[in-house]
Structure 1
């Protein structure tokens, strides 16, 4: 198994230094059966990530309704690491309680949830506070004003966004520029070898505006790890209940997996490492968000840093899929 030394990059056009892999913490909690319910196991993965040089951690208030933030906060509090070296990212938007003001990007919800996230994370400030989705019911100026207040108060260092059409993201950037509010510095979007719709949507905008890109689902929910077979049984495990996973079982995507396996064998690497290496070769990408449930999976992911793909190999991986903006995904 390849082992790569961790490297660091700047997030977008900021001076913030982040590891080239970000540890996603959505899997830590008890909301879904496939999550890591054992806190000791979650702790072990986070601690190993620190040992491997990962300083960038991403979670959200809505992940297991705060459990993920609490787990991450507890581990980082006990870790022998300088808080100044760590980059802690979380998000706001999702429903945190039933009834009025339980979700969204209103000034009230943003400010209230920031305080709740700070308490669960056990920190005085959030390095990267991200809007998890676009809120059609709240003017973007109101949201930007609330985020700006958090930065002014020292409770947030940078603000970011996630998953939206490019025209909406550009609207937010424009409003921030016009009204002199804190500008979004990063975009979380779904991006991997078989889900390349963002190449026809937000990625060109991010490149033009020097926005940092931190892709989620870089392994397509496990599809790019090679654990699925074209002639196998898709009606088992997470694939049986995951609508997006089911949609990945297409001829074009299977062709990608076939190329992925061949190129992995040629490079003495795993399919997951090659899939992550492809993202790391993209100039627009800063740090893919990996979500390993075990130390073995984490170490395999970090091994992607040692995989150097040729232009010919990249062409082979990209040939089967033509990127098209999927409005059903992009408008959620």
Structure 2
């Protein structure tokens, strides 16, 4: 395992972060693992040197945090782990049970701490940019949480670069604690964050962690997986011909190296400038081992050419473009 400092902070994390969206309760989504199924994967990741675990109250509506909390109590020491959880999406009824208002952030963090079974989280992250709550209200609250010791650091995820710039300006203006981590989507089929967000984070000393390195499973070659067949977001994000052609290029490069497609797709992500950490959502210990091997897989100039040659720019993927993204293919004319 390799370890890096996250941004300009002193926090040291494993370069592979265990993603846990697939752990919790299958009542939430059919491809989710329960605690018994999740335990061997988490234990293997810990034994492999992972000290960074990504959670969110939204995953299985809180059951994911409870499952991971139970598992790490059995197999790890809390002070040796870096636990990250996120808030923002609704996990119950009520008009205030979502977003980044002062009320909801406190309710969300206290709920997460109870479910995980810990007094603090190492990173508390905004799941997106809440356009309905003043950023001053949100960040004043987060700054208080750091001072109270309920979270050690702060992070953000999935937003436009100008929105992130607004957050940093707010912190500088008021002398509040800045985020140390930007979590964003990046893979061989979706690279738009390399235009502005990643260079901006590098310039500002923010650590970049990447989720969905396999494009929700597409780049692993698992076109017919349960997730791909039941997850509408997969089709919305990566249902176009360009994404499928990129998946074929990944398979071609994998064949050259005699490895699985997933390993090549992850090696591509790990090679990108500015990327500090890659999230790994593994369904088996073998899949996690593929991610470990991606750390040392050296892609050639010809490999990069093959992986790059099909890519065409596309609309940004975030909460604000959901259902409104312009497809890569031409749209039909209106008579």
Q: How high is the TM-score relative to the length of structure 1?
A: 0.91
> Could you list the runs of 5+ residues in structure 2 that have no partner in the other structure?
323-335
Aligned CA-pair RMSD: 1.8
For the pair 1:212 / 2:207, whether they are aligned, the reply is yes
Matching residue within 61, 82, 107 for 2:102 = 107
User: Offset of 1:100 from its aligned partner?
Assistant: 3.2
State which of 12, 15, 28 in structure 2 corresponds to 1:17. 12
Measured in 2, the distance between the counterparts of 1:74 and 1:139 equals 36
1:33 corresponds to 2:22: no
Counterpart of 1:66 in structure 2 is: 62
| Preserved contact between residue 217 and residue 228 of structure 2 (Cα < 8 Å) | no
In structure 2, the partner of 1:305 is: 295
Q: Is the 8 A contact 2:126 2:156 kept in 1?
A: yes
Within the alignment, does 1:243 sit opposite 2:232 as a pair?
yes
Note if 1:287 corresponds to 2:248: no
Q: CA-to-partner distance for each residue in 1:3-36, whole Å, 9 max, x for gaps?
A: xxx1111111212111111111111122111111
CA distance in 1, matches of 2:158, 2:9: 21
- Which of the residues 222, 247, 261 maps onto 1:271? 261
Query: Which one of 304, 314, 322 corresponds to residue 314 of structure 1?
Result: 304
Task: Tell me how far apart the structure 1 counterparts of residues 299 and 320 of structure 2 sit (CA, whole Å).
Answer: 29
Q: Which residue of 1 aligns with 2:331?
A: none
> Quick one: distance in 1 between partners of 2:128 and 2:100?
9
Query: Within 2, Cα distance between the matches of 1:160 and 1:244?
Result: 24
Matched, 1:143 2:133: no
SS of 2:139's partner is helix
What's the secondary structure of 2:90's corresponding residue?
coil
Unaligned runs of 5+ in 1: 1-5, 229-233
Cα distance between partner residues in 1 of 2:246 and 2:91: 38
Q: Which has the higher contact order (CA 8 A, sep 6+)?
A: 1
Evaluate the alpha carbon distance shift between residue 115 and residue 244 of structure 1 in structure 2; reply closer, same or farther with a 3 A threshold: closer
Following superposition, the deviation at residue 171 of structure 1 comes to: 0.3
Residue 195 (structure 1) aligned with residue 185 (structure 2): no
Q: 1:73-92 to 2 correspondence within 5 Å? A: 73-79=69-75, 81-92=76-87
8 Å contact 1:91–1:132 — kept in the other structure?
Answer: yes
